[in-house]
Structure formats: structure tokens, C-alpha cells
Structure 1
Amino acid sequence: MPAGAPVDPRGPRFAAVITTVVLAVVLLTGWWPLLAAQTAVFALGAFAGLRVAPYAVLYRVLLAPRLPATTEREDAAPLRFAQAVGFAFGLVGTVGYALGVPVLGLVATAFALFAAFLNAAFDFCLGCEVYPLLRRVTPRTGRA
């Protein structure tokens, strides 16, 4: 599946709900191995693709067959970018907690939680909104 192949927009929102719960548990407990697992989930979505991301698989197998069909589609590229941003915050948070710098872990996790919550509660993907802005200011190479 190409990086920008369209996806059912309900899947990423479902993933955001699970992510919100996971990150809230991490903030409440400081249990960094759970944050490390969430960071791996972000990595799969960002670098391997949304099709193999664990929460996307759960959505496709468990939820999508029970929902009415939709023709609405969303470009995957901004969603993968959002997953990469989540990965960065998750990695910083995991390293912070693991190295005994809990304030770093707490702050990075809180930023990731804020973004996930926006998507879960309000269907507002912060990374998806930043993606086109960065594309405008990033020079494109290899064009004639």
C-alpha cells in the first residue's frame, strides 16, 4: 500500500481512542514499558504503514465488519506523519522514564496524550494539520 493510499477515517480515530487510554495509564502510573510498547505501535504505523499498525488491524478485523460501509476516505500520508510525531514523543518519553528523568517522560507523554485526545474526542488530528504546512515549506528535490 503506498504511503498516501486512502483509508477509512474511522480507523485512525479508533486508534486514537486506544492510544489515549494507553497514554493516560502511562501518565497515571509512570510505567514506561507500556509507553515503550505504544512507541512501537507508533513506529509500525509511521514506518511500516497503517495497514500493519496493530490498532488498524484491530479496527479492520473487529470493528469495520460491524459498521455500515462508508465511501469516505482519508489520505494516509498525514496520518503516517502524525504517527511519526507520536513515535518521537513516545521515544523521548520512554528514554526519560527509563533513564530516571521522569519529568522528561511525563512531559513527552503528556504532549502525545494531548494530540491523541484531540483526535479521539474531537476528530482533530494535530499531526495531520501540521503535515501540509510542513510540505509547503519543505523544498522538493528531484522535480524538473
Structure 2
Amino acid sequence: MPETPRIDVRGPRFAASITAVLLLVATFLSLIGISTARADVGWFAYQPLSGERYAPDTWAVSVAPLVARIADPGFLLLLVVAVLFAWGVGSPRTAPWGVLFRRVVQPRLAPPAEFEDPRPPRFAQGVGLFVTVVGLVLHLASVPWALPIAAAMAFVAAFLNAAFGLCLGCQLYLVLQRAGLIGRRRPSPA
């Protein structure tokens, strides 16, 4: 059985640090954007054609045109983060934060003392991709609060990894691996 390649444990933590900052900004932007605003306040106060006011319990995201939902700064930044997660899943060797770590940061550090299997961090990128895409799709489907909740969930996971080395997606990978659902080849039936 071929040996699994190992990666420097500091690389995923470095990437999680940058990702956490981006997700914190995306959470803030989505909290002040149309995802959490009421339709009867601000520029959504009047319907464009009829001039009638929206009911006080109407969310801005539910009456905003698709273009306005897409142009929301929180949506755009979370979309960029989702693309970065997809890049990390599809081609981790060329993902921007990994390349930056290997070319700029790692040469300035002492040789790595710890290595890890690259599959759990890659799986964690997939979990981050799933969470952010669900938030993006629900936002486009006019679900209030979906965008900031998804961004905040992804932020918490990235922050825990960056600050404490606790990778929630990696832990999920290990649980699924122990259950025999991923990561191990099952013996073929005799």
C-alpha cells in the first residue's frame, strides 16, 4: 500500500487565518446588507411601480430583484470565499493560500516539526464550500438571514482552526473514516 503524502500542519492553519478574516468581513457585510434588512426601511421602503409601502414584517431580500441580491457586498465576498474553497478542494497544490504559504511563509520558518495527512484538510475545504454554497443559494432564493448565518458558521470553523488548531472539518473526516464511510478502501467481498 503506497504511503500517503504528508503536509506541513502550519499550511492549513495559515490558510484558515486568511479565510477567517475574509469570512469575518463577509459576515459583517451580510449583516448590514439586504439579507437582514426590513423592506419598509431605507431604499426598499416603497415598491418601485405602485408606490405602496411594504408590510413591516417583509424582509428586503424577499422583495429585492435578483440583481440586487447578487450585488450585495456580503454575497459577493462570500462567493469569492466559496470559489477559494472550491479551488482548495479541486486543486489544493495551486490554491492561492497554499502557494503563498509554500513560497513566501514556509521558507522563513523553521523546518516543520509536524506533518499531517492532506485528506482531512481537503475534506474540510469541501465542508466550507458546502456551507457557503448553501448560504449563497438560499440568499438567491430570498431566504432572510441565510447569508450571514452561513458566513458566520464558516467563520467559526476557520477561526477555530486558525487560532487553536481545531479543524472541525478534519474531525468530521476522522469520524466518517472511523465509521468506514470515507477514506478507507473497503475489502472486496471474497
- Normalising by structure 2, report the TM-score: 0.68
In structure 1, the partner of 2:71 is none
In structure 2, the partner of 1:7 is 7
For residue 187 of structure 2, what is the amino acid of its counterpart? R
Q: Is the 8 A contact 1:79 1:127 kept in 2?
A: yes
Identical counterparts, % of pairs: 44
Question: Following the alignment from structure 1 to structure 2, what is the Cα–Cα distance between the partners of residues 138 and 37?
Answer: 33
Give the structure with the higher percent helix.
1
Which runs of 5 or more residues in structure 2 are unaligned?
31-73
In structure 2, the partner of 1:44 is 87
For residue 108 of structure 1, what is the amino acid of its counterpart? A
Deviation by residue 1:65-87 (Cα, 9 ceiling, x = unmatched): 11111242110000111000000
In structure 1, the partner of 2:78 is 35
* 1:94 matches 2:159: no
Q: How does 1:56-71 map to 2 (within 5 A)?
A: 56-71=98-113
In structure 1, the partner of 2:187 is 143
**Out of 113, 118, 122, which is 2:164 matched to?**
122
For residue 18 of structure 2, what is the amino acid of its counterpart? I
In structure 1, the partner of 2:148 is 106
Deviation by residue 1:69-111 (Cα, 9 ceiling, x = unmatched): 1242110000111000000011112223344434111111111
C-alpha RMSD of matched pairs (Å): 1.9
Question: Following the alignment from structure 1 to structure 2, what is the Cα–Cα distance between the partners of residues 20 and 142?
Answer: 36
Question: Following the alignment from structure 1 to structure 2, what is the Cα–Cα distance between the partners of residues 138 and 33?
Answer: 37
| Paired residue total | 141
In structure 1, the partner of 2:19 is 19
Question: Following the alignment from structure 2 to structure 1, what is the Cα–Cα distance between the partners of residues 8 and 144?
Answer: 37
Choose 1 or 2 for highest CA Rg: 2
